[in-house]
């Protein structure tokens, strides 16, 4: 009996799984993700103490590229308080969980945020939930993001957190993105 190496078996499995992945994906979710492709200018308004006073405003750029059919890889750069800020995220539609998933890391926090959520087709928005770092305490708290598109060249991301001991989400950041022409 002739021994078969692992490489042909792995290649065959890869082709099989690639076909299953393409069949299993939700086309509306994949189409929604693809709107994020490109270079974006961002204005960020942050309310570290909650949406009571004047926000801290800063600007950044974001470059989003597709990875396969389901994933956006995001590279985010800006300056915050006179210091360089860099962040990287991956988000898209997980065909096994049948929902959107996302991760986020940046140059300020030593924590990787993980999110899951669903697309609301009626409002054309994606609501994601996960754990985040509270900018005031450095502790983990519940976080929520709502992402929406305002036409092909504008989108809005609003971040909320539940402060420790609270049952209510508080708006902490609003990010307005405009497609870089």
**Tens digit of each residue's pLDDT (9 = 90 or more) over 77-136:** 998 878 899 999 999 999 899 999 999 999 988 889 999 999 988 888 999 999 998 877
pLDDT at position 45 is 94
Angle at 134 between CA 131 and CA 139, to 5 degrees: 75
Distance of alpha carbon 77 from alpha carbon 89, whole angstroms: 12
Conformation bin of residue 45: beta by default, left when phi > 0, alpha when psi is -120 to 50: beta
Going along the chain, which residue ranges are E strands? 38-46, 56-67, 71-80, 83-94, 99-106, 113-120, 125-133, 140-149, 154-161, 170-179
Q: 142 or 25: whose pLDDT is higher?
A: 142
pTM over 0.85: no
pLDDT at position 31 is 82
State yes or no: pLDDT of 25 exceeds 80: no
Burial class (CB in 10 A: 0-12, 13-18, 19+), 116: middle
Q: 21 or 119: whose pLDDT is higher?
A: 119
Instruction: Give the pLDDT confidence of 49-75 residue by residue, as tens digits.
Output: 767 788 999 999 999 999 998 899 999
Candidates 173, 120, 177; CA nearest to 154 is 177
Q: Are 64 and 29 in contact (CB under 8 A)?
A: no
> What are the tokens at 61?
């750029």
Q: 52 or 17: whose pLDDT is higher?
A: 52
State yes or no: pLDDT of 16 exceeds 60: no
Name the 3-class secondary structure at 84.
strand
Query: In sequence order, which ranges of the chain are alpha helices (DSSP H)?
Result: 6-24, 27-34
Instruction: Give the pLDDT confidence of 135-154 residue by residue, as tens digits.
Output: 778 889 999 999 999 888 99
pLDDT at position 10 is 40
pLDDT at position 2 is 46
Q: 68 or 1: whose pLDDT is higher?
A: 68
Band of pLDDT at residue 26, cut at 50, 70 and 90: low
State yes or no: pLDDT of 34 exceeds 60: yes
pLDDT at position 5 is 46
Alpha-carbon separation of residue 70 from 46, 113, 173 (angstroms): 30, 19, 26
């Amino acid at each position: 009996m002739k021994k078969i190496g692992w490489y042909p078996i792995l290649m065959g499995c890869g082709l099989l799984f690639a076909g299953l992945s393409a069949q299993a994906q939700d086309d509306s979710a994949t189409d929604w993700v693809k709107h994020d492709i490109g270079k974006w200018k961002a204005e960020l308004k942050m309310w570290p103490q909650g949406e009571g006073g004047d926000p801290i405003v800063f600007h950044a750029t974001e470059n989003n590229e597709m990875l396969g059919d389901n994933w956006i890889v995001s590279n985010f750069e800006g300056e915050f308080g006179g210091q360089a800020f860099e962040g990287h995220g991956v988000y898209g539609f997980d065909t096994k969980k049948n929902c959107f998933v996302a991760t986020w890391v940046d140059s300020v926090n030593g924590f990787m945020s993980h999110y899951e959520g669903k697309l609301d087709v009626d409002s054309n928005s994606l609501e994601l939930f996960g754990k985040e770092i509270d900018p005031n305490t450095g502790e983990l708290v519940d976080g929520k993001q709502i992402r929406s598109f305002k036409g092909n060249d504008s989108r809005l991301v609003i971040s909320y957190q539940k402060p420790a001991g609270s049952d209510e989400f508080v708006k902490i950041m609003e990010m307005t993105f405009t497609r870089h022409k």
